[in-house]
Structure 1
């Protein structure tokens, strides 16, 4: 797995796990792979994976069960808020980049709508 140099690896692992939860690859209430399995999957140190899981536990995204492992929360609202947060971060980054090209909000909106229409046509 390739990581971005200027972002801590544990944060990148969290992001990947968030996306797997949001996309329902890891369903609500399902058990996550063990720390060791995740470390192999992410080609990362077990302590790095554990740090990501610790933060996710503090955020109530995953629930540890002693002796059984870590489970995805069953709380739909937590996952919904997580999704909203990630989408907002992505829009913030894109918006800032487009503004740096001297595009105004109307141009950005028009370009995005055209982009979505084109994608829809490409997938038909």
Structure 2
């Protein structure tokens, strides 16, 4: 069960989680998404919260509805790659800003990343 951050709307946090499922391949293009009530039970939230999250994802073109059948992940690989790039840039931006706040310069940040990646391979 996911712990929610009180400073961010719950539907946004669930939406971010579903986006991660999509860009990581846990959910693939064309896959059917869980029913509103099922996902609401999984996250222990009100079904209206999940409904709103699905509406937002649909508005962004990440999912689509088939009346009476359910919601599905877009099969547009360009959209999924764009989503992946957008999320990665957001993560990088946050990381770099935090490192700069600690006093690191760009070359030091790059060196730290390379050191981490090399250590991770060992």
TM-score normalized by the length of structure 1: 0.96
RMSD: 0.6
Report runs of 4+ in structure 1 exceeding 3 Å deviation.
none
Which whole-Å deviations, capped at 9, do the CAs of 1:83-114 have from their partners, x for residues lacking one? Answer: 00110110011000000011100000001100
In the alignment, which residue of structure 1 is the partner of 2:32?
31
Q: Could you say what secondary structure the match of 1:70 adopts?
A: strand
Which whole-Å deviations, capped at 9, do the CAs of 1:24-77 have from their partners, x for residues lacking one? Answer: 111110100100001011111111111111010011100110000000000000
Distance 1:42 1:22 in 2: 20
Distance 2:42 2:18 in 1: 12
Q: Could you say what secondary structure the match of 1:63 adopts?
A: strand
In the alignment, which residue of structure 1 is the partner of 2:74?
73
In the alignment, which residue of structure 1 is the partner of 2:87?
86
Distance 2:25 2:103 in 1: 37
5+ residue gaps, structure 2, are none
5+ residue gaps, structure 1, are none
In the alignment, which residue of structure 1 is the partner of 2:99?
98
> How far did residue 117 of structure 1 move?
0.4
Q: How many residues align?
A: 121
